[in-house]
A = this chain, B = another copy of it.
């Protein structure tokens, strides 16, 4: 890492972090398209209009970039899901709203999701990825809680696992100009679970 960023100059600090965020987004795009290992740091730099060295001004390593993608995906999702659950309310509506939120997040972060899924084996093991695994577990617990509060209590593991499969898979087929809106998709999934057809 050539030069640690800005120590306590808040204006610069903020610009730096905004740039970082944008670079993470671009990296997610490239990784999703070509694969993490297939994408060289020079590819990345080129697609960002930078020289290779400049990348290391923002990220200490390629792996750190991958971790940043995970964070950018999971942190806001967890935050808004927690907020929604804390608000309380009717069980079925809460489940519906959670799935809507979730699907919207997934389609807005398709690239992140695809990278996450492709690099499953990296995240599944290793000390370094403990936090990522914990975040996923935490979110799954929230979904389980919402399912348990639904009208016919959806308790056994299968509904949860089915829902995880459906929603995660959405990243693989959703297209912005497709026939279904994220909301319609979410409501369709919930209808399946609740048995309303």
Residues of A147-174 at the interface with B, using a CB-CB cut-off of 8 Å, are: 152, 157-159, 161-162, 164-170, 172-173
**Cα A193 to Cα B37 with chains together (Å):** 38
What is the interface size of chain A, counting residues whose CB is below 8 A from a CB of the partner? 39
- Enumerate chain B residues within 8 angstroms of A9, measured Cβ to Cβ: none
Kindly state whether residue A179 has any CB partner on chain B within 8 Å: yes
Q: In the bound complex, how far is the Cα of B38 from the Cα of A34, in angstroms? A: 15
User: What 1/0 flags go to A164-197 for Cβ under 8 Å of B?
Assistant: 1111111011000001100001001100110111
Q: Interface majority SS on A: helix, strand, loop or mixed?
A: helix
| Residue interface bits A74-114, CB-to-B below 8 A is 1, else 0 | 00000000000000000000000000000000000000001
Of B33, B165, B180, B185, the residue contacting A121 (CB under 8 A) is B33
Whether B172 contacts A169 by the Cβ 8 Å rule is no
Contact check, B173 vs A169: say whether CB atoms are below 8 A apart: no
Which B residues touch A170, using CB under 8 A? Answer: 161, 165
Which residues of B lie under 8 Å from residue A157 when comparing CB positions?
179-180
Q: How far is the CA of A118 from the CA of B130 in the complex (A)?
A: 20
Residues of B within 8 A of A161 (CB): 166, 169-170, 173
Q: Which residue of B lies closest to A172 (CB)?
A: B120
Residues of B within 8 A of A188 (CB): 158, 162
**Given B37, B118, B158, which contacts A185 in the complex, CB threshold below 8 Å?**
B158
Could you write out 25 A-B pairs with CB less than 8 Å apart? A32-B121, A33-B121, A35-B119, A35-B121, A37-B37, A38-B121, A38-B122, A114-B121, A117-B117, A117-B118, A118-B118, A118-B121, A152-B197, A157-B180, A158-B180, A161-B169, A162-B166, A162-B169, A162-B188, A164-B169, A165-B166, A165-B168, A165-B170, A169-B169, A192-B193
A residues at B contact (CB < 8 Å): 32-38, 114, 117-122, 152, 157-159, 161-162, 164-170, 172-173, 179-180, 185, 188-189, 192-193, 195-197
